[in-house]
Amino acid sequence: MSSTDARYIVISAVKNEAQYIGETLSSMAAQTVKPAEWVIVNDGSTDSTSKVIKGYAKKYSWIRLVDAELSKRSRGGHIVKLVYYGLSKLKTNDFDFIVKLDGDLSFEPGFFERVFAHLAQNPALGITSGISHICSGGVLIEEKSARGHTLGACKVYRKECFTDIGGLIQAMGWDGIDEIKARMKGWEASPVPGLRVIHLRPEGQANGTFASGKERGRGSYFMGYHPLFFAVRAAKNILKSPLDGVGMVTGYLGAALKGGEKIDDPEFIRFIRKNQLRKLLMLKHKV
């Protein structure tokens, strides 16, 4: 299959994205390889998000807006519920790739053509994405993330891989758990080298830096991070962004002290901790 023949569907969950969604819609409309279907789930927006989307949906039959019928919003788990709600509303089942796309991104017209060309070159690659950049002072700067980590804001899944890992887990940290499960199953997960996606709203801006770090700390606890690995990671974050790092520690310790929930998968926890210790020891690692 050539990159131009790839069939893919896109699911987006949006809430009050009127300031950004127009650029995301324009970017998708300009793609050299169009999706078979793009379902956009409106999670109770109170601004003009729906109006903007409906304007594009009138022009492009492959864009559909649906209103979510789900309860309380919470980061991570709720987002995954919205993604599954969008998947349940698909009209097509003829596709090879699943894209989870946020509503505050912009990207070049050949973005998905490059993604699928990269996937075609490596059949073992199960999850990929672009690399997030933000515009600061008129200059694009790469957003920092763990080496090789795929961007949750624009994940691209090979359908077989998505099925193999049992889909997405409805919890904070879902966009790290999917990669680890993929590697456990023998798949690879990494972004397309040099492929930029512009994040119009920098990570953590919606909820605040401290709150964002706190949620990631809870997510790290839920995923079963090794305490030593988490301590080193949090210390590095404190040096780079004190509010974010302190938030991470607060979230992790709060979950630990309250006996918070952990992923119900002992094999997963053993796998992640083993590779985290290898990383600390500067040995070859998979995570």
* Residue 195: how many other CB atoms lie within 10 Å: 19
Q: Going by C-beta distance under 8 Å and a sequence separation of 6 or more, which residues neighbour residue 107?
A: 27, 130, 154, 196, 197, 198
User: Is pLDDT of 155 > 80?
Assistant: yes
Taking residues 118-122, report their average pLDDT: 97
Res 208: pLDDT: 66
274 is written with which tokens?
Answer: 């083993």
Position with higher pLDDT, 61 vs 136: 61
| Winning range, highest mean pLDDT, from 65-74, 102-111, 269-278 | 102-111
Q: Any idea where the domains of the chain sit in the sequence?
A: 3-199, 209-280
The confidence band for 285, taking pLDDT boundaries of 50, 70 and 90, is very low
The confidence band for 143, taking pLDDT boundaries of 50, 70 and 90, is confident
Taking residues 131-139, report their average pLDDT: 88
The confidence band for 216, taking pLDDT boundaries of 50, 70 and 90, is confident
d(CA 179, CA 201): 24
* Residue 71: how many other CB atoms lie within 10 Å: 8
User: What's 127's DSSP letter?
Assistant: E
User: Is pLDDT of 201 > 50?
Assistant: yes
Res 140: pLDDT: 87
Taking residues 199-217, report their average pLDDT: 76
User: Is pLDDT of 4 > 90?
Assistant: no
**pTM of the predicted model, to two decimals?**
0.87
d(CA 142, CA 123): 27
Res 287: pLDDT: 47
Helix (H, G, I), strand (E, B) or coil at 136: strand
Res 122: pLDDT: 97
- Name the least confident of 93-107, 176-190, 204-218: 204-218
Taking residues 213-237, report their average pLDDT: 93
Res 43: pLDDT: 95
Res 238: pLDDT: 93
User: Using an 8 Å Cβ cutoff, are 177 and 223 in contact?
Assistant: yes
Q: What is the mean pLDDT of the chain?
A: 91
Taking residues 30-59, report their average pLDDT: 97
The confidence band for 284, taking pLDDT boundaries of 50, 70 and 90, is low
Strands 63-67 and 97-101: unpaired
What's the CATH fold of domain 3-199? Spore Coat Polysaccharide Biosynthesis Protein SpsA; Chain A (3.90.550)
Nearest Cα residue to 133 out of 71, 68, 206, 199: 199
Strands 131-136 and 139-142: antiparallel
User: Is pLDDT of 24 > 60?
Assistant: yes
User: Using an 8 Å Cβ cutoff, are 32 and 121 in contact?
Assistant: no
